[in-house]
Structure 1
């Protein structure tokens, strides 16, 4: 897919993977629509990239149709949608409130589904278009202390796969990027820092590179780093062995 001049919407662009992805797309010549909650950071990123800021909170599901209308009204077309925005919650499941559960589900699962649905007519109107979902290894292997987060990321994985089958033969390609531990503010914001000695967090730009490849080359799925395919493979082929190892060595982050 040619990215020069393409309109690319990036959610969660205020920081971390989203900001790094925006920079990568800018370097490739895309015209950026930067979505997030931190207007100061978005403004600074827009100054660097020439992108347009569309601020908002994806927890407000009722506002997503208006968000899509604003994007299509201002730019007339959408070639790329990067569903990156997400939040975490770490700790014993019994300590989550109903509001905690609802927010994790809304932001990580319902919002990207609804935004994709709202923008799909614009995407299908282009000769080539791409939608990329940034999921998590937590959705492939499960993580203790992050049961709801793991569940919604697994759901996003399956939604993306189903949509890929549905859109086969159209100009819209669906990609999934599955990162492991990434050096961002995510862990501080989820309420518990990352405390394991390994694996070591990887730079956000490394994940952004995978997002760029998913868009440009039409890649369906990428694990970052690549060795994360191994535990997924073990879980799929030897689930008993995987569960025994995860229980023994700990599956929490």
Structure 2
């Protein structure tokens, strides 16, 4: 897909992976619409790339459709959707309140689906576009203490695969980026910082470069770092061994 001159909406674009993706897309000649909740931070990111801002809390039911409408209103269309906004929560499942559970599922799963629902039909009509979903290795391997987050990412994973099959020969691509530990504020925001020495967090810019490359070359899956593919492979081929290792070493160390 030629990116020069295209219009992209990046959710969660005010910080972390999203902000790095905004920079990468803008460098490729894309007119970027930065979505965020914080007006000041979102405006700062948009200003440095000459982009536009759309505000909205995607954890609120119905907000995704409003964000999609506002994004379309900026340039009249959206050619690329980067569904990046998300959040985690760390702790035992029994300690998660019902309201927080609903918020996580709405933000991490329902919002991307609704954004795709709103933005996909015009892409199909133009026979050109791309849906870039940001998952997590947690959706492939499971993470103790992050059951709901892992479940939403697993659902997003199979949605991406199903949608890609559905959109064959339409001119619209679908990619899923699967990052591991990334050097962002994600871990602090989930309630517990990342405190392990290995694996070392990957810079957000590295994930962003891989994601943008995936859009350009219509890659189905983008793993960052690539060696993470080993974990789900072991789980699939030797589930007993995988579970014993998981129990021995405790919480999985790979998560967005």
Query: TM-score over 0.5 for the alignment?
Result: yes
Runs of 4+ in 1 over 6 A off after TM superposition: none
Report the CA distance between 1:32 and its aligned residue: 0.4
Q: 1:195 aligns to what SS in structure 2? A: coil
Could you tell me which residue of structure 1 aligns to residue 64 of structure 2? Answer: 64
Report the CA distance between 1:126 and its aligned residue: 2.8
Whether the aligned pair in 2 keeps the contact of 1:72 and 1:122 (CA below 8 Å) is no
Query: C-alpha separation between the residues in 1 aligned to 2:69 and 2:231?
Result: 41
Whether the aligned pair in 2 keeps the contact of 1:145 and 1:252 (CA below 8 Å) is no
Greater mean deviation of Cα atoms: 94-103 or 243-252: 243-252
Greater mean deviation of Cα atoms: 108-117 or 125-134: 125-134
Report the CA distance between 1:71 and its aligned residue: 1.8
Could you tell me which residue of structure 2 aligns to residue 50 of structure 1? Answer: 50
Could you tell me which residue of structure 2 aligns to residue 99 of structure 1? Answer: 99
Q: What per-residue deviation string (whole Å, max 9, x for no partner) do you get for residues 39-96 of structure 1?
A: 1111111111011000111012213222222222221121100000000000111110
Gap regions ≥5 residues in structure 2 = none
Could you tell me which residue of structure 2 aligns to residue 38 of structure 1? Answer: 38
Query: C-alpha separation between the residues in 1 aligned to 2:183 and 2:83?
Result: 19
Could you tell me which residue of structure 2 aligns to residue 228 of structure 1? Answer: 228
Could you tell me which residue of structure 2 aligns to residue 153 of structure 1? Answer: 153
Query: C-alpha separation between the residues in 2 aligned to 1:73 and 1:57?
Result: 18
Whether the aligned pair in 2 keeps the contact of 1:79 and 1:126 (CA below 8 Å) is no
Gap regions ≥5 residues in structure 1 = none
Q: Is residue 2:109 matched to residue 1:115?
A: no
Query: C-alpha separation between the residues in 2 aligned to 1:65 and 1:242?
Result: 40
Q: 1:32 aligns to what SS in structure 2? A: strand
Report the CA distance between 1:107 and its aligned residue: 0.2
Query: C-alpha separation between the residues in 2 aligned to 1:183 and 1:246?
Result: 23
Query: C-alpha separation between the residues in 1 aligned to 2:200 and 2:73?
Result: 43
Q: What per-residue deviation string (whole Å, max 9, x for no partner) do you get for residues 9-62 of structure 1?
A: 100001000000000000000000110111111111111101100011101221
Whether the aligned pair in 2 keeps the contact of 1:8 and 1:78 (CA below 8 Å) is yes
Greater mean deviation of Cα atoms: 208-217 or 70-79: 70-79
User: RMSD in angstroms over aligned alpha carbons?
Assistant: 1.0
Query: C-alpha separation between the residues in 2 aligned to 1:125 and 1:216?
Result: 20
Query: C-alpha separation between the residues in 2 aligned to 1:49 and 1:122?
Result: 25
Greater mean deviation of Cα atoms: 121-130 or 185-194: 121-130
Report the CA distance between 1:106 and its aligned residue: 0.5
Query: Given the two structures, how large is their TM-score scaled by the length of structure 1?
Result: 0.97
Query: C-alpha separation between the residues in 2 aligned to 1:152 and 1:64?
Result: 16
Q: 1:58 aligns to what SS in structure 2? A: coil
Q: 1:40 aligns to what SS in structure 2? A: helix
Query: C-alpha separation between the residues in 2 aligned to 1:21 and 1:68?
Result: 18
Query: Given the two structures, how large is their TM-score scaled by the length of structure 2?
Result: 0.96
In the comparison of the two structures, how many residue pairs are matched? 253
Could you tell me which residue of structure 2 aligns to residue 177 of structure 1? Answer: 177
Could you tell me which residue of structure 1 aligns to residue 248 of structure 2? Answer: 248
Report the CA distance between 1:173 and its aligned residue: 0.4
Report the CA distance between 1:239 and its aligned residue: 0.7
Could you tell me which residue of structure 1 aligns to residue 206 of structure 2? Answer: 206
Query: C-alpha separation between the residues in 1 aligned to 2:113 and 2:65?
Result: 12
